[in-house]
Structure 1
Amino acid sequence: MAKPSGSTSIAMREADEEPFYRGLFARSGFGFAALDGRGRIVDANAAFLAPFGVASVTGLPAFEDCVSPKDRSVLSFAMRASLAEQAPWELRLQRADGTEFWVLASFVTPPALPGEGAPALLVQTLDIDERKRNALELAERESRWNHALESAGQGVWDHDFARGDLFYSRQWRAIRGLRSDEPIEASLEAWIQSVHPDDRAHVLAQIAKQETGEAAFNVFSYRERHKDGRWIWIESRGAVVEYDAAGKPVRIAGTDTDITDRKEAEERLAQMSRRLELALGVSRIGVFEVNLRTGEVRWDDRMLEMYGFAGTPDGETWERSLHPEDRRKASARVSDGISSGQDFANEFRIVRGDGEVRHLRGRSAPYVDLTGVPRLIGANWDVTEDVLLQEELKRAKDLAEARAAELEAARARIEYTALHDHLTGLPNRRYLDAAIEATAEEARQAGSRLAVLHIDLDRFKEINDTLGHVAGDRMLVHAAGVLNELRGPGDFVARIGGDEFVFVSSVSAGRNLATLAEAIVEAMRKPVTFNGHVCRFGASVGIASQSGTAIDAKQLLVNADLALYRAKNRGRSRHEFFTSDFQAQIIVSKQTADDILSGIEQRRFLPWYQPQFCARTLDLIGVETLARWDHPTRGILTPDTFLKIAEDLDCVAMIDRIVLERSLADLAEWQRLGLGIGKISANVSSKRLHDPELGRSLRTLEIAPKSLSFELLESIFLDDCDRTVLENLAEMRRLGIDIEIDDFGTGHASIVSLMKLSPRRLKIDRQLIKPVSRSPGQRKLVGTIVEIGRSLNIEVVAEGVETPAHVSIMRDLGCDILQGYALARPMPASAVPGFVEAQEWRDHAGTAPAPHGDLRRTAAR
C-alpha cells in the first residue's frame, strides 16, 4: 500500500489538531499574533498580549488600531507582501488607555494551508521599550548639552591621545573664524604660533601641567589670532577624563570660550577706575559708604584727611564732626534724603580734629545692594576757599551797591553826553543810528512810511571864516531851533556833524515832505543878527522815503545823502527827492565803476593817436596819445564817458600808466618800421603830478630822451606848483621827458611863470584857433602868443586845426606844429602805419579824412 504524501498528512493533522503555529506561539519568548485577511488579530500568545494588559485577543482591536497613530504610515509599508520579509520594523504600539510602548516587529506570510481559519499574516514582536526610551533620553540629553554649549558660546575640544583622536566642535571653530569643515593643524608646534607671543610661555606651561597630570582640572586665558587677523581672548577649561595604567592622562577634554568682550570691558572698567581715582585725587573729593542696616561706615583716605580724623570712623563720627550750628540742619537733610530714596545735596561746616573750621559740600544717594542691604554712598569736598571768596564778593557787592546811586547819576550824564551834541543839545549820530532803527521797525510793523531829510547849511563856512567860530556856533544853535520848531509828534532831529542835520519824519498822517522841506529852506533863509552883523545862510535838503516792510534805515540815510548831493549841485537852497531815476543813474555809475575796474584788470584801456605835423613841411613828426576804453559791449569810449567815475575810484593814475606803457611800446614798433614818428605826448593829471611815487614809477619805464612829452594844463603849473609837483617836474627833466603846456590861453599864465617853468612847447587852445579864419583880432591874438613862445624859445603847437584855412593861417602866423581834423583824426595804433604810408594828408589836408583800413568807427577826442 502506498505511503501518503507529506501534504496529506499535514492536512490530516490540521483537521484533527489545533493550528500548527499555536505550539510555536506557546513555546516562544517573542510575542506572536496571527492576522486574518482583514487585519484582525485572530490569535496571539501571552508574550504578545501581556504588554497590552489583556488576557485574550477579544480585548484587542484590529492590529492597525493597536499601532500608534505616529507609526501607522510606516505600518502600511511594513505589511506589504513585497516588504514583509525584510528586516524588523521599530514601531510604537498603543494600549487602550493611550499609553505607548516600543516593539521590534517582523511580518511573515505563512504558507497557504487548508481550512477556513488559516492566518493571512503572522506578526512577531520583541519588547524594546526600555532600551528605546533609554536611547531617546540619551540622545535628548546629548542634544540639550550641545545646545547649551552652543548657546553659551563654548567650543568643545576632546584630545584622546590613546586613540589619536582630536575632536573640535563647530562652535570651537566658529570662535576662531574657521569653517565647520576646515582642516586644523593640530600639532602643538603649529598651533602655538597662532597664540600671542606674550602669552605663549604661559600657555605652554598650562598645557604641560595638564598633560603631566599635575592638574586634573585647569582654567587659563590667553590671546589667539582670529582668522581675520585680529587677536581674541580665549578662556580654556580642561579636565583629565581618562588615565592609563601608569596614571598618566591619556584623554583630556574641555571647552574654549571667547571672552574678548569681557576682557575689553574689564580694560575699560580698569581705565574708568584709574580715571575716577585720578579725578578724585586731583579734585580732593572724599568718598564714603554707610551700611544703613548695621551702621558700618567706610571712608577713603581723602575723607579722613579732609576731616582730620586719624582713627576708624563709626556711625557717630560724621555727626560729631559737624559744626554745632549746622548739625541739626545737615542731619535732617540726610534723614529726608534716605526716606525719599532720592539722591540729595548737603552743605555744612565741620570742626576738624585740630579745631579748624572748614566748609564742605556733599552729594549722597541711597541704594539697595544685590544682597538687599540698604546703603548710602556719597562724596564730600572742601569748598572753604569758595565760601570765603563768595563772602569777599558779597562785601564787594555791598560796597558797589552803596555807590550805585552816584555811579548811576554819572552814567546818565555820560550817556547823555555820548548821545547828544554838546552845542545844540540835539541827538548826535550815535543816537540817530539807534533811534532810526527803532523807528524803522515800528514803521515796518505799522505799514507806514518813513522819511529822512538830510540838511546841509549853505554859506555856513563863509560866516565861520569871516565872523569866527562863535558866530558859527550861534548859527548852528539857531538852525537847531528852527528844526525843533518844525518837528512834529514822532519826528526826530539830530546834528550829525559840522553843519549837517538829519530830520527823521513819520509821514503816516499824510505829512507833505515837499512842504516840510520848503519850510526848512525858507526858515533857514531868514537873517540872523550876531554882534550887529546880519548873517544870512540857507539850507539844501535831500529827501528819501520808504514804506512798509521794504524800509531799510541805513539805505534811507544813504539815499538822503545822495539826494542832498544833487540838491547842492543844482544850485543850493533847494530840496531834491531821491527817485528811481536817480537810483538808476547810481546803478549805471556803479556798473560803469565795476566795468572800469574789470577793464583795468583786463587791460582794455588803450591809446589812440592824433598825428602832429610840421607846419612848414607837413611832415609827420609826432603823435598825441589819447586814452580810449575798449568796452566789451559799448565799443571804443572816450574819456568823457569814464574819466569822472575813474577819478572817484582813484584809478586814473593806473589807466594813465597802462596807456603810457602801450604808447611807448607802439612808438618803439613805429621806429623799428622807420615811420619817422619821433615822439609821443601824453596828458598828465593834476592828481598824478601831486603823487610822490610818480618819479619812481617813471624810472621803471624805458623812456628814450626827447621821445616823450607830458602835457600839463595851464592851471596846473600856475596854481598847484607845490614842492611835490616841482620835484616831479624836475625828475621828468632828468629822465629826458619834455614838458608841454596844454590849452594855453584859457588860464591865467604869466610871462614870469612861463620863464620859471621853461616848457618845451605851448599848445594853443582850440577855442582860440577856431575863429582865426574870420576874425582879424583873433589872428592877432594868436600871433602874439606865437611871438611870445618864439621869444622864450618855446615851440608853439596849434590844436583844433580843422579847415584848410586854419592850416594856411597858422603856418603863416609862425606856428611850429599843427594838429587837428584838417590833417588827421585820432586813430588806433594799428592804423598808424597805413596812414603814414598813404601820405594822404598832403593832398587832402583840408578834408581831414578818417583813418583808412578796417576800422568800423572813429571816436572823436
Structure 2
Amino acid sequence: MTRSSLKDRWPTDPVTDLPQRERLINMLDTGFEDPEMKEKTCLVIEVDAFPNLAEHYGRDAQDRIETQLGETLRSMLRVTDLICSLDRGKFGVAIDRAARADLEVVLQIASRLQSAITTPIELNETHLHLTASVGFALPQRAPEATGESLFQAAESALQSAQAAGPGSIRAFSNGMAPRAAATNHSEAELTEALETGQMLPWFQPQVCLRTGRLTGMEALVRWNHPKQGWIAPGAFLPALTQAGLLERLSEVMLFECLTAICAWDKQGLEVPTISINLSSAELSNPKLFEKIRWDLDRFDVSPERLTLEVLESVIAQGEDDVIVRNINALSRMGCNIDLDDFGTGHASIAHIRRFCLNRIKIDRSFITHIDTDPDQQNMVAAILTMAKQLEIRALAEGVETHGEYAKLGELGCTDVQGYAVAKPMPMDVTSLWIKNHKSTSDRSHPVLKHA
C-alpha cells in the first residue's frame, strides 16, 4: 500500500501529521489476530501540564513543541513500530512484544522515550524543561485479547502514573480497572450492523490436552465495518450495551454459529461444539431457554453441539431465580455449560454445585508464566483438584507457549485454548485450519501452532 493511500485511509493529526487513535487500535488488533504479525505492547505517553504551554507561550509555540516532540519520538522507534497522536501532548505507541524479559525491556523503552521529552527545548531564547508520564500494558496482561482492551489498559496505567506524580512510569497490572472504552458508534449504526450481517463470529479452537484433538470452537464477535474494516469487540460492545442491543447481538451470534456448524458438517469436518457467551442480562430473560431451543430445532442441531459460557461473577450472585432456571433448563436439554473467567468472580463451591456445569475455564491471568512461576502452578493445581472432585472438566485460557502447554498437561488440565493452539479466525479460514490440525495431530501430539 502506498504512503498516500495509507494517509487517505488513516486520518492524521493536523499538528503533528501523525496517525490517530483508530490507527493505533488497528495495529494493536493485528498483533492479536494476524498470525503473520507479532503481538504488540502499547505505551501511552502524556506531557505533564501540556495545556499550560498555550497559556504561557501561546498556541503557536505549543504547536511547534508538539510537532518537535512527535518527530523526536518517531525518530527513536523502529520502522515496525507505530506512534500516533491521541490528544494535545499525548502519544500512543505500539511496539513488538519482546521475546524475553518483557517488563524490563519495555521499561527501558519507556524510560528512553520519557528522557527524550525531558531534554531541554529551546523556545524564545530560553530552555524549556518538560516532564512526561508513561503508562504501558503488555499483551498478556490485557483483560481481553483485543487492541481496544490493550489500549485501555495502557490508559489505565497512565492514569496511575499521573496519580503518582509528574514523570512517573507505570505498567498495567491485574489490580487496575481499565478505563471504559470510548465509542463514536450511534445506535442506528449499530442496529444496521446487526441487521445487515456486519457483525460476525470469529472462531478460536479449543483442544484436548491429552489427545490433541479439536474439542470445540469459541465464537468471538467482530464487526466488519464497511469503512474501517474489522473492529474488535472492545470498541463497540459498550455502545451495544448502552443501546440495549446485547440480546439482539446474542441472537445474531447464535444464528451465525448454528449456520457454521451446519457448514462444517456438510464439509465432513468434526467440530464437536461451539461456545458462545451469555451476559447476565441475557440470562435474566425468562424466554431465553425457549428461544435457544427453537433455534436448535430449526437448524436441526443437537443441543450438545452448543456450549454456553457464563461468567463466574454471574454464578457468584446466585440469587436470580430466572438465571438459575435458564442455566439448569439449558443443561437438562443437553447444552454444555462453561463457567468463564474462573478465579476472578469469587464463586464458592456451593454456587458451582447449584448449577449443572460441564467445565470451568481458568482465567488467563492464572496461566501466564505457569511453567516458571510456582505460585501460578499451586493456584492452578488447586483449581484442577477442585474440578476433579466435582467431576467437571477444566479448560485453560490464554495458553501462549509450549512451556505453559506442557506444564498444564503435567498438572492434569483437560483442555486448552490460546495462541499456542491458534488465534481467532474468520469462518472462511477455519476449514483449512481444521484439516491441517487433524492431519498434524494424527501424526504427533501435542500440536502447537505458534502465533
User: Would you call these one fold, judging by a TM-score over 0.5?
Assistant: yes
- Where does 1:52-67 land on structure 2 (aligned, <5 Å)? none
Say which SS state the counterpart of residue 626 (structure 1) adopts. Answer: strand
Q: Is the 8 A contact 2:183 2:238 kept in 1?
A: no
Q: Is the 8 A contact 1:803 1:847 kept in 2?
A: no
What do you get for the CA RMSD once the two structures are aligned?
2.1
User: Does residue 763 in structure 1 map to residue 345 in structure 2?
Assistant: no
Deviates more, 1:755-764 or 1:839-848: 839-848
Match of 2:334 in 1: 736
Match of 1:819 in 2: 417
Say which SS state the counterpart of residue 303 (structure 2) adopts. Answer: coil
Q: Is the 8 A contact 1:825 1:848 kept in 2?
A: no
The alpha-carbon deviation at position 757 of structure 1 amounts to: 1.4
User: Does residue 746 in structure 1 map to residue 344 in structure 2?
Assistant: yes
Q: Is the 8 A contact 2:328 2:356 kept in 1?
A: no
Does the C-alpha gap of structure 1 residues 632 and 841 become closer, same or farther in structure 2, counting only changes over 3 Å? Answer: farther
Q: Is the 8 A contact 1:804 1:845 kept in 2?
A: no
Looking at structure 1, the residues matched to 223 and 318 of structure 2 have their Cα atoms a distance apart, in angstroms, of 29
Match of 1:715 in 2: 313
The alpha-carbon deviation at position 749 of structure 1 amounts to: 1.4
Name the amino acid aligned to 2:416: L
Looking at structure 2, the residues matched to 773 and 593 of structure 1 have their Cα atoms a distance apart, in angstroms, of 45
Match of 2:198 in 1: 604
Does the C-alpha gap of structure 1 residues 635 and 790 become closer, same or farther in structure 2, counting only changes over 3 Å? Answer: same
Q: Choose between structure 1 and 2 for higher RCO, CA contacts under 8 A separated by at least 6 residues.
A: 2
Q: Is the 8 A contact 1:824 1:841 kept in 2?
A: no
User: Does residue 838 in structure 1 map to residue 436 in structure 2?
Assistant: yes
1:615 to 202, 206, 209: 209
Looking at structure 2, the residues matched to 825 and 771 of structure 1 have their Cα atoms a distance apart, in angstroms, of 19
The alpha-carbon deviation at position 802 of structure 1 amounts to: 0.3
User: Does residue 626 in structure 1 map to residue 220 in structure 2?
Assistant: yes
Say which SS state the counterpart of residue 644 (structure 1) adopts. Answer: helix
Q: Is the 8 A contact 1:679 1:706 kept in 2?
A: yes
Does the C-alpha gap of structure 1 residues 732 and 706 become closer, same or farther in structure 2, counting only changes over 3 Å? Answer: same
User: Does residue 695 in structure 1 map to residue 289 in structure 2?
Assistant: yes
- Where does 1:122-201 land on structure 2 (aligned, <5 Å)? none
- Where does 1:274-285 land on structure 2 (aligned, <5 Å)? none
- Where does 1:241-320 land on structure 2 (aligned, <5 Å)? none
Q: Is the 8 A contact 2:303 2:335 kept in 1?
A: yes
1:672 to 261, 266, 270: 266
* 1:170-228, Cα deviation, whole Å (9 max, x unpaired): xxxxxxxxxxxxxxxxxxxxxxxxxxxxxxxxxxxxxxxxxxxxxxxxxxxxxxxxxxx
- Where does 1:2-21 land on structure 2 (aligned, <5 Å)? none
Looking at structure 1, the residues matched to 339 and 345 of structure 2 have their Cα atoms a distance apart, in angstroms, of 11
The alpha-carbon deviation at position 773 of structure 1 amounts to: 1.7
Looking at structure 1, the residues matched to 409 and 224 of structure 2 have their Cα atoms a distance apart, in angstroms, of 36
Q: Is the 8 A contact 2:185 2:239 kept in 1?
A: no
* 1:133-157, Cα deviation, whole Å (9 max, x unpaired): xxxxxxxxxxxxxxxxxxxxxxxxx
Name the amino acid aligned to 2:374: P
The alpha-carbon deviation at position 590 of structure 1 amounts to: 5.2
The alpha-carbon deviation at position 665 of structure 1 amounts to: 1.2
Does the C-alpha gap of structure 1 residues 769 and 595 become closer, same or farther in structure 2, counting only changes over 3 Å? Answer: same
Q: Is the 8 A contact 1:801 1:818 kept in 2?
A: yes
The alpha-carbon deviation at position 847 of structure 1 amounts to: 5.0
Match of 1:210 in 2: none
Name the amino acid aligned to 1:685: S
Looking at structure 2, the residues matched to 606 and 694 of structure 1 have their Cα atoms a distance apart, in angstroms, of 21
1:792 to 378, 382, 390: 390
Q: Is the 8 A contact 1:680 1:709 kept in 2?
A: yes
Does the C-alpha gap of structure 1 residues 841 and 638 become closer, same or farther in structure 2, counting only changes over 3 Å? Answer: farther
The alpha-carbon deviation at position 720 of structure 1 amounts to: 4.6
Match of 1:66 in 2: none
Gaps of 5+ in 2: 1-158, 161-181
Looking at structure 2, the residues matched to 590 and 769 of structure 1 have their Cα atoms a distance apart, in angstroms, of 34
- Where does 1:113-512 land on structure 2 (aligned, <5 Å)? none
Does the C-alpha gap of structure 1 residues 802 and 696 become closer, same or farther in structure 2, counting only changes over 3 Å? Answer: same
* 1:748-770, Cα deviation, whole Å (9 max, x unpaired): 11122111213100000000000
* 1:33-80, Cα deviation, whole Å (9 max, x unpaired): xxxxxxxxxxxxxxxxxxxxxxxxxxxxxxxxxxxxxxxxxxxxxxxx
Q: Is the 8 A contact 2:185 2:236 kept in 1?
A: no
Looking at structure 2, the residues matched to 721 and 663 of structure 1 have their Cα atoms a distance apart, in angstroms, of 30
* 1:602-648, Cα deviation, whole Å (9 max, x unpaired): 12111110000010111112111111111111111121010000001
Looking at structure 2, the residues matched to 744 and 609 of structure 1 have their Cα atoms a distance apart, in angstroms, of 21
Match of 2:239 in 1: 645
Name the amino acid aligned to 1:774: T
Looking at structure 2, the residues matched to 694 and 752 of structure 1 have their Cα atoms a distance apart, in angstroms, of 24
Q: Is the 8 A contact 1:841 1:848 kept in 2?
A: no
Name the amino acid aligned to 1:759: L
Looking at structure 1, the residues matched to 186 and 380 of structure 2 have their Cα atoms a distance apart, in angstroms, of 40
- Structure 2 length-normalised TM: 0.56
The alpha-carbon deviation at position 699 of structure 1 amounts to: 2.4
Name the amino acid aligned to 1:641: A
Match of 2:324 in 1: 726
- Structure 1 length-normalised TM: 0.30
User: Does residue 776 in structure 1 map to residue 356 in structure 2?
Assistant: no
Q: Is the 8 A contact 2:395 2:416 kept in 1?
A: yes
The alpha-carbon deviation at position 672 of structure 1 amounts to: 2.7
The alpha-carbon deviation at position 826 of structure 1 amounts to: 0.3
Say which SS state the counterpart of residue 370 (structure 2) adopts. Answer: helix
Q: Is the 8 A contact 1:608 1:828 kept in 2?
A: yes
Say which SS state the counterpart of residue 755 (structure 1) adopts. Answer: helix
Q: Is the 8 A contact 2:327 2:356 kept in 1?
A: no
What fraction of aligned residue pairs are identical, expressed as a percent? 33
Say which SS state the counterpart of residue 255 (structure 2) adopts. Answer: helix
Say which SS state the counterpart of residue 191 (structure 2) adopts. Answer: helix
* 1:351-407, Cα deviation, whole Å (9 max, x unpaired): xxxxxxxxxxxxxxxxxxxxxxxxxxxxxxxxxxxxxxxxxxxxxxxxxxxxxxxxx
Say which SS state the counterpart of residue 827 (structure 1) adopts. Answer: coil
Q: Is the 8 A contact 1:709 1:738 kept in 2?
A: yes
The alpha-carbon deviation at position 774 of structure 1 amounts to: 1.6
* 1:820-848, Cα deviation, whole Å (9 max, x unpaired): 00111101111111011122875794552
Does the C-alpha gap of structure 1 residues 730 and 755 become closer, same or farther in structure 2, counting only changes over 3 Å? Answer: closer
* 1:316-348, Cα deviation, whole Å (9 max, x unpaired): xxxxxxxxxxxxxxxxxxxxxxxxxxxxxxxxx
Match of 2:280 in 1: 686
Say which SS state the counterpart of residue 773 (structure 1) adopts. Answer: coil
Match of 1:309 in 2: none
Looking at structure 2, the residues matched to 841 and 768 of structure 1 have their Cα atoms a distance apart, in angstroms, of 29
* 1:79-122, Cα deviation, whole Å (9 max, x unpaired): xxxxxxxxxxxxxxxxxxxxxxxxxxxxxxxxxxxxxxxxxxxx
The alpha-carbon deviation at position 692 of structure 1 amounts to: 1.7
Q: Is the 8 A contact 2:357 2:392 kept in 1?
A: yes
Looking at structure 2, the residues matched to 696 and 755 of structure 1 have their Cα atoms a distance apart, in angstroms, of 24
Q: Is the 8 A contact 1:802 1:846 kept in 2?
A: no
Gaps of 5+ in 1: 1-569, 572-587, 850-861
Match of 2:401 in 1: 803
Looking at structure 1, the residues matched to 229 and 246 of structure 2 have their Cα atoms a distance apart, in angstroms, of 20
Looking at structure 1, the residues matched to 195 and 417 of structure 2 have their Cα atoms a distance apart, in angstroms, of 33
Q: Is the 8 A contact 2:331 2:356 kept in 1?
A: no
Does the C-alpha gap of structure 1 residues 696 and 705 become closer, same or farther in structure 2, counting only changes over 3 Å? Answer: closer
Name the amino acid aligned to 2:187: A
Looking at structure 1, the residues matched to 425 and 183 of structure 2 have their Cα atoms a distance apart, in angstroms, of 27
Does the C-alpha gap of structure 1 residues 830 and 820 become closer, same or farther in structure 2, counting only changes over 3 Å? Answer: same
Looking at structure 1, the residues matched to 276 and 302 of structure 2 have their Cα atoms a distance apart, in angstroms, of 15
Say which SS state the counterpart of residue 771 (structure 1) adopts. Answer: coil
Name the amino acid aligned to 1:848: H
